[in-house]
Amino acid sequence: MDSGRLSNMKESVMAVVVIVRVLLVASLLGSSCACHFPAIYTLGDSNSDTGCVSATFGRLHSPYGQTFFGKPSGRYSDGRLIVDFIASELKLPFVSAYLDAIESNFRHGANFAASGATIQPADGKLVGADKNSDITDRLPRLEFSKALYVLDCGQNDLHYGIVTTSVEQVKASIIPNVISQLAAAIEKLYQEGGRVFWIHNTGPIGCLPVFVLKSPPKPGDADRAGCIKSYNELAQEFNKKLKDRVSQLRAKLLDAKLIYVDIYTAKYSLISEADKYGFVDPFINCCGWVGAVRVECGKTAVVNGTEVFGASCSDPSKHISWDGTHYTEAANHWVANRILDGSLLDPPVPITKVCL
C-alpha cells in the first residue's frame, strides 16, 4: 500500500473517531436530565428546612411563604428554598419535611433539615413525631443507593461558636471537630447505601443582617461589601477544610460521587453586587422591621408603647435578606441558578449530570 493511500486511511479513521466523540458529547449535553434520581434526602439547617421545626415546635405565621405558596409553608422564607429549586431541576416534587405528617409524601425522599440544627451534637431533647399511616403510597421507595443526598449545614455551628466562645476558639477547635463529624456522617450514609452526595459549603455568615445590624463591624473589620470580615474568614476557613476533607473522602469512597458546592461564592457575589442584579441594600431585610426597630418577622412587639406587627416589605423580589438570617425566594432562586449549571461545583458539572 502506497504512502498516499495509508495517509488517507489514517485521516478517515481519525475523522470517524472525532465524529463519534462529538456525538457522545452532544448526546450527554443534549439530554434534558441524564441522571434520574428517584429521591432526594436532605440534611441541614434552616436554609433547607421545609417544615420540620415548624411542624414540631409551632407553625410559622404570615407573611412567611407569601410569595410562592400564598401561606406559611414551614420554610423560613417568603417562598422557595435552594433545595426546592434543586428538586425542580431534577423534575421531582418538593421534598416533604420528615417531621411534618400533614399531606407529606415520602416516595421521593425526605427532608431532615431543621432550623437551628448543627453538625455537632446539640443540647436539648429531640422531639419526635408520630408517623403512623396506612397510606403506603406515601412511604419511601427505599432506593437509597440511587438517591441524591444533599448536605447543607455548618452555619449554625459557626454562629453558636461566635456567640458562646470566640473567633479564635472557633478556628482552633470547633471547625476541625465539625468537619470530622460531617465526614463521619457522610461515611455512615455511604455504608447505608448512599452514593451521590451534594455537599454545600457555608455562606458568608458575616454578611447576615442579624450580625451586621446588631453588631456593626469594628474599625478594620469590615470587608469591601460592608460585611464583618472576621466572621467571613471563619466561613472561608470552614469551607477550605471541608473541601479538603471531601477530596480525601473521594479517594476513600471510590464508587461514590461527592460534589462540593460553593454556596459562599454565589451568595457573596450577590451581596457584594446587589445593585447590579436589581436588589436593594443587602443589609435591609424585607420582613421584621418597624422603622429602625427590629421586630421579629411575623410576630408582634411593643415599640414606644404601641403594639406593632413585623410585616413584610412591599416587594420581596428586590430584597436578598428575608428576615435578617434567611434569604428571600428571589435570592434563593438567583443562587440556585448559579450552582445548578455546575460553574461553582467541584467537579464542575451540572446537577443533571452528577451521576455520570
pLDDT given for residue 327 in this prediction: 98
42, 95 Cβ separation under 8 angstroms: yes
Ramachandran angles phi, psi of 120, nearest 5°: -75, 155
Closest CA to 267 of 317, 333, 215: 333
Alpha-carbon distances, residue 40 vs 32, 76, 202 (angstroms):
18, 20, 20
DSSP 283-304: TS-SSSEETTEE--TT-EEEET
pTM, two decimals, is 0.84
pLDDT given for residue 212 in this prediction: 92
Considering 159, 200, 326, 333, which one is annotated as catalytic?
Answer: 326
pLDDT given for residue 158 in this prediction: 93
pLDDT tens series, the chain, 356 aa: 555 554 555 455 455 444 434 344 444 444 444 688 999 999 999 999 999 999 988 889 999 999 999 999 999 999 999 999 999 999 999 999 998 877 788 888 999 999 988 888 755 332 333 433 443 454 455 567 899 999 999 999 999 999 888 889 999 999 999 999 999 999 999 999 999 999 999 999 999 999 998 888 999 999 999 999 999 999 999 999 999 999 999 999 999 999 999 999 999 999 999 999 999 999 999 998 766 677 889 888 888 888 888 899 999 999 999 999 999 999 999 999 999 999 999 999 999 999 86
pLDDT given for residue 1 in this prediction: 53
pLDDT given for residue 305 in this prediction: 85
Strand pairing report for 345-346 and 257-261: antiparallel
DSSP 186-239: HHHHHHTT--EEEEE----GGG-HHHHTTSPPPTT-B-TTSSBHHHHHHHHHHH
Does residue 312 have an active-site annotation?
Answer: no
Give, in degrees to the nearest 5, the angle at Cα 204 between 116 and 224.
150
**Nine-digit cell at 117?**
440544627
pLDDT given for residue 101 in this prediction: 76
> Which alpha helices (DSSP H) does the chain contain, by range?
3-30, 52-57, 82-89, 155-164, 167-169, 175-191, 209-212, 229-252, 263-272, 329-340
Task: Specify the CATH architecture of the domain 36-278+327-353.
Answer: 3-Layer(aba) Sandwich (3.40)
pLDDT given for residue 135 in this prediction: 38
Does residue 323 have an active-site annotation?
Answer: yes
Considering 78, 100, 223, 323, which one is annotated as catalytic?
Answer: 323
Considering 45, 46, 54, 115, which one is annotated as catalytic?
Answer: 46
pLDDT given for residue 276 in this prediction: 97
Does residue 326 have an active-site annotation?
Answer: yes
pLDDT given for residue 35 in this prediction: 83
User: Can you give the residue ranges of every domain in the chain?
Assistant: 36-278+327-353
pLDDT given for residue 337 in this prediction: 97
